[in-house]
Structure 1
């Protein structure tokens, strides 16, 4: 079936403009955080916003202002949660993952890689993407909370202060590294 009725098609067209404007206003109001690289919490909010927009457009039982209230509620909840996570460590730990150390001083940490479902080839690719050709030239590779890899070469390590929030960095070296 291509469509139920012309009325439904016209309804979608009529609802699309205002619903889209409300979504844009909601995202702009919520700030740059909503548009940043996403961690799991941000992804959930983004998917929920998209799902709500689709429901507004396609479900005739949802009035435009009910949908606008739903979009606004999601944005407010995201703002409150982000605000609380900045101020309270417990909230931050609840909604955000911690970065994970995958390579230390040129040696892959296979147990950490297994827990995060990352392969040695993915770590090597991240290192190559940074323009480095040898593992021994890399001081650390960190899987960040947004799923990206940070590669820190030995020459860029400096004081190492950027590693302070990587929990595994301060633990003693383990023998779970291979000689790859």
Structure 2
């Protein structure tokens, strides 16, 4: 029972020392790799962020993983993230492989049923998104977009009846 609560000072000192070094090296690596490394712009970015956190936890808590191995894992994840982001900016094919496009789920009060089905979003979930937005009335919604990072954007109808919000959202107004 005592081992569950305290296993000795060696483990605590290791956690403090390795944690401090790993934290410092991770911060330095993230700063040098740029803001994109931790951006959650798409599912790939989220996976890398979670993997970095998981790696840090493993380095901190597992005495079987040396600091050098953890730093190598950080460098590998950050390097791969950088390579994929670099390639996706320069190649539409790579970008399509790693990023999803925003999807219009509702337009002018009309639900895009096929889009909901493709994105596996129910009409109840769509209504919840609208109710929790500043524009809580579906009749006042110009569009609901499922963004590439999985968040929802609710765009209110323009007050003057114009198309300004469509243009600002990058949506086409015709058809």
| Partner of residue 31, structure 1 | 34
Shift of the 55–159 alpha-carbon distance from structure 1 to 2, 3 Å rule, reads closer
| Partner of residue 161, structure 2 | none
Give the counterpart of 2:9 among 6, 12, 15.
6
Instruction: Give me the whole-angstrom Cα distance separating, in 1, the residues matched to 2:83 and 2:42.
Output: 16
Unaligned residue ranges in structure 2 (runs of 5+): 159-163
| Partner of residue 113, structure 1 | 116
Q: CA deviation at 1:30?
A: 2.0
Instruction: Give me the whole-angstrom Cα distance separating, in 2, the residues matched to 1:103 and 1:18.
Output: 49
Contact 2:106–2:112, Cα closer than 8 Å, also in 1: yes
TM-score by length of 1: 0.79
Unaligned residue ranges in structure 1 (runs of 5+): 173-180
Q: Secondary structure at the match of 1:157?
A: helix
Instruction: Give me the whole-angstrom Cα distance separating, in 2, the residues matched to 1:63 and 1:133.
Output: 52
Q: Count residues with an aligned counterpart.
A: 167
| Partner of residue 157, structure 1 | 165
TM-score by length of 2: 0.81
Shift of the 138–47 alpha-carbon distance from structure 1 to 2, 3 Å rule, reads same
Superposition RMSD in Å? 2.4
Q: CA deviation at 1:147?
A: 1.1
Give the counterpart of 1:18 among 21, 30, 39.
21
- Highest RCO, 1 vs 2 (Cα 8 Å, sep ≥ 6): 1
Contact 1:107–1:135, Cα closer than 8 Å, also in 2: no
Instruction: Give me the whole-angstrom Cα distance separating, in 1, the residues matched to 2:61 and 2:40.
Output: 29
Per-residue CA distance 1:122-174 (angstroms, 9 max, x = gap): 3234334443243233222110011111122331435467126xxxx98x6xx
Per-residue CA distance 1:32-81 (angstroms, 9 max, x = gap): 21333342111110111112112221222322222212211211110110
Shift of the 159–97 alpha-carbon distance from structure 1 to 2, 3 Å rule, reads closer
| Partner of residue 84, structure 2 | 81
Instruction: Give me the whole-angstrom Cα distance separating, in 2, the residues matched to 1:41 and 1:106.
Output: 32
